[in-house]
Amino acid sequence: MDTFLGRYRNLIVLAAILFAQIVGLAVQVRRPTDQGDTRLIRIWAISAVAPLEKAVVHSQEWVQGLWTNYAYLRGVRRENRELRAEIQQMKIQDARLTEDANMARRVQALLAFKEQYVDSTIAAQVIGTSGSEQSRVLYIDKGSNDGIKPDMAVITPTGIVGKIVQTAPEWSQVLPINDQFSGVGAALKDSRLQGILKGTPSGATTLQYIMSDEKVVPGEQVITSGGDRIFPKGLPVGTVATVAPGKDLFLNIRVIPSSRLDQLEEVLVVTHITEKMPDTKDLGPLRASDILAERLPSVPNKADVDAAGNAKPAGATPAPGTTPAAGAAGAVATTPHPPAGVTTRPATTALGTTKPAAGVANKPAAPGATTANKPAGAATTPRTTAAGAATPTPKPKPAGSAASATSPQTNANGANETASPVKKVIVNNDDTTPAPKKPKPAPEPTPSTTEPPPSTPPSGAQPQP
Amino acid sequence: MSTRVAPFRGSLTSREQVSVFEFSWLAIILIPLVAVLIQVFIPVLIPVKLWFVPIIDLPFLVTIFFATARRNPISGSLTGCFIGLLQDLFAGYNHPLGMYGIALTIVGYLASSLGVKIDVENPGSRFLITFGFFVVEEGVYYGVAHGMLRQALQWSWSHTAISALANAIIGIFVFRFLDRFKQR
């Protein structure tokens, strides 16, 4: 027996060590939790070296900053000139893009689309990697003490980086998009084809699940699709590098990430994403599409039509808990009932300043909305001046309207506002949904059946918040 | 401290006897620890990003060095296990403890067993040993990940060969540096 143990001692020890590790592996695989059974020992190990690494990284950054910001300033003047020229070019480009963006936001508002906005971010420093080729996780110097939680998106100004997978009080672990266990909902920017961006063992990123009969060209931009509910839609992901036929009828699309994942130093952790309607205030002058939207027939709200079929005058029966809109000079500004599903802009100040009009319902179709600002069907609403001299302003009524109520519109000086499609400055209610602008069609003489709303504030009254 | 002389059993080298080196306990503990820390943090610290930095596997090189220098399969296995588990700790997400541990345990055992039979002091043999055992390590890791854990890893011969080549070249210089810690 002793001879046997002595002869095979090395192999027995090797087998024992391997057996112990295999049992350990089996235990970890058998009881998978969110963070794994080894979470504690990992946290201890990483927490032990994280302060040291933070100190080294930050001191290195300080020395680099000292050199680049104070000592090494060669070529700064030339670079400054070039940047100024670039700013001029970008201003020109910005003007065009702003127009396009405004139009897109108007269309989104018309269709009641909601957008996702990155609301708040935390800047973090990359302090370490996994040290393994099989795993490309990163460590950052911000953790749960800073409000970071798992599944938060990590981005840079140039593109997405990954997501948080594990947090400790002082550090967090990031799973980058080129890790082979990563998956990001992505879409091709031009063709709008959607797929999943996955990493490979070699650290490349591929866009998968795009059918092979689709046409994808190298150079096309890839953006986030928002389908993974981690990254907001539309963030840059990368550029298509190569396209080749893959297995199972799918294309093999290799993507070069927009962020330099091998040169990350500072990243932004998205801590809050809001989903809201696009902001359509200050979008510029009216357009033909807005006028067309105004002329669409609308359906009268039954609650606002009395038994005789006449529309109740606007503001006559304000809903509980609502407040009439008031401009800076106390002008009440309300808008006609829009077509179903189309949101309306809330109010207009007489002074031409964009201010929120409190209590104005922008969503007529929403239950419990302000009935004072929701005249039925063709019943238009009055616009009164600060002086309260509401002069009926003729407005066209859609065909088939139950009542012939019109909206008197006067300006702050008491002069009548002619109902013309002249652009007025629009006031949006911040707590309600922004809406497309409503033009005033050509005047049409109508009887002055509309009374000014009883809730019109006196002259000089401040708008209620 | 002391140099023992192990009996020469093989015929792969012309030397009659091979030297077995000893190391201080401080070096045995600190060198693997520093290697893992450098592996984890060096990609962040170096200002110039070089393409081959991520594929350099310092813990693997240290395992090979200790195993071939001490020429004891048991200590080689234990050293590989220790360094591998240390590397597993930092590997992070979806990486159970023991994957590198198993791979480096086997590498440590084989390298120390081979070190008894061949001369591992000259750069040529070090290059070949490092190249070969890197492929072994990758193969064991792939086998554990794919066979035991059902992880969808992809094996790439070209990538493995390039990584093995880079590690073999770097290994020559690393071994030369670590030779200073040998105690005769």
Write out pLDDT tens, residues A211-253: 888 888 899 999 998 888 888 888 899 999 999 887 778 888 9
Interface of A with B in 21-60 (CB under 8 A): 21-22, 24-25, 28-29, 36, 38, 41-42, 45-46, 49, 53, 56-57, 60
Average the pLDDT over A32-44 and give the result.
62
Instruction: Quote the CA–CA distance of A417 and A332 in Å, as a whole number.
Output: 13
In degrees rounded to 5, what are phi and psi of residue A355?
A: -140, 150
Contact B106 A10 (CB under 8 A): no
User: Which chain A residues touch B90 with a CB distance below 8 Å?
Assistant: 45-46, 128, 130-132
Angle made by CA atoms B101, A40, B37, in degrees to the nearest 5: 50
- Residue B7 within any structural domain of the chain: no
Hey, which residues 49-68 in chain B have their CB within 8 Å of chain A?
49, 54-55, 57, 59
User: Which residue in A359, A149, A138 sits closest to A267, CA to CA?
Assistant: A138
Print burial letters for A31-61: b (CB count within 10 Å at least 16), e (below 16): eeeebbbbeeebbebbeebbeebbeebeeee
Q: Which of A104-108, A279-283, A315-319 has the lowest mean pLDDT?
A: A315-319
Which residues of chain B does A175 touch, with a Cβ-Cβ cutoff of 8 Å?
A: 93
Is pLDDT at A297 greater than 80 in this prediction?
no
The C-alpha angle with vertex A306 and arms to A305 and A308, in degrees rounded to 5, equals 115
Asked whether residue A324 carries a pLDDT value surpassing 80, the answer given is: no
Of A49, A126, A132, the CB nearest to B91: A132
Q: Where are the domains of chain A?
A: 74-113, 114-276, 280-465
Shortest Cα distance, chain B CAs vs residue A342, angstroms: 47
- Residue found under tokens 């009548």: A416
In a domain, B81, yes or no: yes
pLDDT (average), residues A264-270: 88
The secondary element (H helix, E strand) that includes residue A238 is strand A236-245
B171 φ/ψ angles, rounded to the nearest 5 degrees: -60, -35
Can you give the pLDDT at residue A335?
37
**How far out from the chain centre does Cα B47 lie?**
26
Beta carbons of B93 and A165 less than 8 Å apart: yes
Phi, psi values for residue A36, rounded to 5°: 90, 155
Of A25, A53, A201, the CB nearest to B156: A201
Check A137 against B41: CB less than 8 A apart: no
Query: Of the spans A335-344, B22-31, B146-155, which averages the highest pLDDT?
Result: B22-31
Nearest to A21 among B37, B43, B102 (CB): B102
Burial category of A207 from C-beta neighbours within 10 Å (exposed 0-12, middle 13-18, buried 19 and up): buried
Rounded CA-CA distance A184/A193 in Å is 14
d(CA A109, CA A112): 5
Asked if pLDDT for residue A425 goes beyond 50, the answer is no
Secondary structure (3-state) at A432 = coil
Three-class secondary structure of residue A288 per DSSP = helix
- Residue type for position A262: D
Cβ pair B43:A57 closer than 8 A: no
The C-alpha angle with vertex B167 and arms to B12 and B33, in degrees rounded to 5, equals 100
> Is residue A360 scored above 50 in pLDDT?
no
Highest average pLDDT, of A271-275, B87-91, B137-141, comes from: B137-141
Chain A, residues 173-192, CB within 8 A of chain B, namely: 173, 175, 179-181
Q: DSSP readout, A299-319? A: PPPGGGB-TTSPBPPTTSSPP
CATH code of the domain covering residue B170: 1.10.1760
CATH of domain A114-276: 2.40.10.340
Give the distance from residue A216's alpha carbon to the nearest chain B alpha carbon, in angstroms.
Answer: 25
In contact, B116 and B71? CB cutoff 8 Å: yes
Query: Among the listed ranges A8-17, A252-261, A431-440, which one has the minimum average pLDDT value?
Result: A431-440
Residues in chain B: 184
> Is residue B115, in this structure, part of any structural domain at all?
yes
Q: What is the pLDDT of residue A128?
A: 85
Q: Is residue B14 in some structural domain?
A: no
| Contact status, residue A25 vs residue B96, Cβ threshold 8 Å | yes
Q: Do A21 and B98 touch (CB under 8 A)?
A: yes
- Predicted confidence band at B19 (pLDDT cuts at 50, 70, 90)? low
A203: pLDDT confidence band, cut at 50, 70 and 90? confident
The residue in chain A having the minimum alpha-carbon distance to the alpha carbon of residue B78 is A17
The residue of chain B with its CA nearest to that of A129 is B40
| 3 state DSSP class of B12 | coil
Highest mean predicted confidence (pLDDT) among A58-62, A94-98, A402-406: A94-98
Q: At residue B132, does pLDDT exceed 90?
A: yes
Cα gap A424→B10, rounded to integer Å: 97
What residues contact residue B175 under an 8 Å CB cut-off, 6+ apart?
B61, B65, B126
Work out the average pLDDT over B22-30: 86
Confidence of residue A129 (pLDDT cuts 50, 70, 90): confident
- With 90 as the cut, is the pLDDT of residue A301 above it? no
Q: How many CB pairs under 8 A join A and B?
A: 146
Q: Considering the entire predicted model, what is its pTM?
A: 0.59
Domain assignment present for residue B5? The answer is no
- State which of A237-251, A289-303, A420-434, B18-32 shows the largest mean pLDDT: A237-251
Domain that holds residue B129: 19-181
Per DSSP, the three-state class of B95 is: coil
CA distances to A343, B28, B121 from B62, rounded to whole Å, are 68, 10, 15
Tokens encoding A116: 């996702």
Which residues of B fall within a CB distance of 8 Å from A131?
A: 36, 39-41, 59, 87, 90-91
Distance from CA of A82 to the nearest CA of B (A): 26
- Considering only CB atoms, B77 lies closest to which of A17, A60, A129, namely A17
Beta strands in A180-229 (DSSP E): 183-188, 194-199, 205-208, 221-224
Number of domains into which chain B is organized: 1
Q: Do B40 and A130 touch (CB under 8 A)?
A: yes
Tell me if B71 is assigned to some domain. yes
CB contact at 8 A, B34 and B87: no
- How far lies A392's CA from each of A285, A355, B58, B140, in Å? 25, 24, 85, 87
Q: For residues A374 and A366, is the Cβ–Cβ distance under 8 A?
A: no
| pLDDT score for B4 | 52
pLDDT above 80 (res A352): no
Mean pLDDT of chain A: 67
pLDDT of residue B82 exceeding 80, the answer is yes
User: How many percent of chain A have pLDDT more than 70?
Assistant: 54
DSSP output for B114-140: HHHHS---SHHHHHHHHHHHHHHHHHH
Q: What does the block give as tokens for A129?
A: 């990697």
Q: Are β-strands A153-156 and A115-129 bridged in parallel, bridged antiparallel, or unpaired?
A: unpaired
d(CA A323, CA A355): 15
Q: Is the pLDDT of residue A391 over 70?
A: no
Mean pLDDT of chain B: 82
Report the residue of B97, B144, B159 to disrupt the A interface, i.e. the one with the largest count of A CBs within 10 Å. B97
